[in-house]
């Protein structure tokens, strides 16, 4: 049974995971790069992390270690939980690789096909692919934010999570290894989790439609209060319908309706269970992860897969093009696509899915 876990990530998810897993009795090390020295110092100066909100656990919890020294943080780790944006996956993989030992398994939260990045970096470092399992969560651990120094606020409970390893044949082995850490159910493969991620349906279009308000309000803007206009709901529904057609091409169905979720968020009287979630701030700019990461990761992948199987997603493609113009980026080519993950035009989706399963 796992006793020691290292959490990589100095943001809200990293702090939440470190506190939550400490509350469950694990020895937890929290670690990130030198850019997060201040956050590590805050945890050490405060003596721990205050966990607030709806995680199912509230209180003050003291991880065993909070540091920017990866060698020290990874020394005793059995499980390495990586809680960084997709745009930092390569950075995190390169920081971990020199210290990785056989049997130390890795979980990415959220995944967004970061397992391919970790596998490539580890291959370059000469690490035996059989020695370490790399797995991905579908979506993030939970919606959360750093709300003060060494304080994390969680918007919704930490529930049973869907997970898949790369390749999928090792998923059950990974779930057995993680017994007692979190409750898991298996996805067939990492593509299933990436295609079913709700983030690109929920975040990109609504943020773009709120651009003027975001620029005016900055850090005071809260998407789940200020951005849920009728126009935003219509945009979400259009992208949702496109994703439903894409999922059908893979024999999948959506887990939940993004449109219904936003309608519930707007219905304050009848859905008080979202009261904390509605306070989670952001985006404070259009370079926020709600646009930058969601375009770069899951939206780019969805469009890439849609083109390979002949499904049209004109609304999502337009949103991605507009986001790229706003941020002066070419998300349609820079983002994670089948091509830059190593699956060229000559590979059918059936062949790709077989290769990762």
Question: pLDDT at position 346, please?
Answer: 85
CATH topology of domain 196-356: 1.10.1040
All CATH 1.10.1040.10 domain ranges of the chain, comma separated, are 196-356
Question: pLDDT at position 146, please?
Answer: 97
- pLDDT per residue over 259-296, tens digit each? 999 999 999 999 999 999 999 999 999 999 999 999 99
If we measure between CA atoms, which residue out of 191, 193, 204 comes closest to residue 308? 191
CATH number of 4-194: 3.40.50.720
| Whether 80 contacts 108, CB under 8 Å | no
Percent of the chain with pLDDT over 90: 95
Question: pLDDT at position 39, please?
Answer: 98
All CATH 3.40.50.720 domain ranges of the chain, comma separated, are 4-194
Task: Take residue 32 and report the two structure tokens written for it.
Answer: 């990130």
- Residues near 19 by Cβ (< 8 Å), separated by ≥ 6? 48, 49, 50, 51, 57, 61, 63, 152
Question: Within 13 Å, how many C-alpha atoms sit on residue 174's CB side?
Answer: 32
CA 37-39-41 angle, to 5 degrees, is 70
> What mean pLDDT, rounded, does the chain reach?
96
């Amino acid at each position: 049974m796992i006793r020691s876990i290292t959490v990589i990530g100095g943001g809200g998810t990293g702090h939440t995971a470190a506190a939550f897993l400490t509350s469950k009795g694990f020895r937890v090390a929290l670690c990130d790069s030198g850019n997060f020295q201040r956050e590590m110092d805050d945890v050490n100066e405060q003596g721990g992390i205050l966990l607030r909100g709806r995680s199912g656990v509230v209180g003050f919890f003291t991880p065993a270690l909070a540091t920017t020294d990866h060698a020290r943080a990874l020394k005793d780790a059995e499980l390495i939980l990586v809680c960084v944006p997709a745009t930092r996956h390569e950075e995190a993989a390169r920081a971990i690789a020199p210290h990785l030992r056989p049997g130390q398994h890795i979980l990415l939260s959220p995944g967004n096909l970061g397992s391919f990045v970790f596998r490539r970096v580890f291959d370059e470092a000469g690490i035996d692919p059989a020695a370490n399992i790399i797995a991905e969560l579908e979506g993030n651990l939970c919606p959360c934010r750093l709300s003060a120094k060494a304080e994390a606020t969680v918007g919704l409970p930490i529930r049973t999570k869907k997970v898949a390893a790369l390749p999928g044949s090792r998923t059950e082995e990974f779930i057995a290894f993680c017994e007692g850490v979190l409750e898991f159910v298996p996805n067939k493969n990492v593509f299933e989790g990436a295609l079913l991620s709700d983030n690109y349906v929920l975040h990109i279009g609504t943020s773009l439609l709120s651009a003027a308000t975001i620029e005016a309000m900055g850090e005071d803007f809260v998407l789940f209060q200020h951005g849920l206009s009728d126009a935003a709901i219509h945009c979400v529904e259009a992208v949702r319908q496109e994703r439903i057609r894409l999922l059908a091409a893979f024999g999948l169905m959506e887990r939940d309706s993004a449109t219904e979720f936003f309608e519930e968020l707007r219905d304050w009287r009848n859905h008080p269970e979202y009261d904390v979630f509605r306070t989670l701030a952001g985006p404070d700019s259009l370079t926020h992860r709600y646009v930058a990461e969601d375009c770069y990761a899951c939206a780019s992948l969805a469009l890439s897969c849609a083109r390979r199987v002949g499904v049209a997603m004109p609304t999502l493609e337009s949103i991605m093009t507009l986001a790229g113009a706003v941020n002066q980026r070419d998300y349609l080519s820079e983002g994670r696509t089948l091509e830059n993950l190593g699956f060229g035009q000559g590979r059918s989706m059936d062949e790709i899915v077989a290769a990762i399963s």
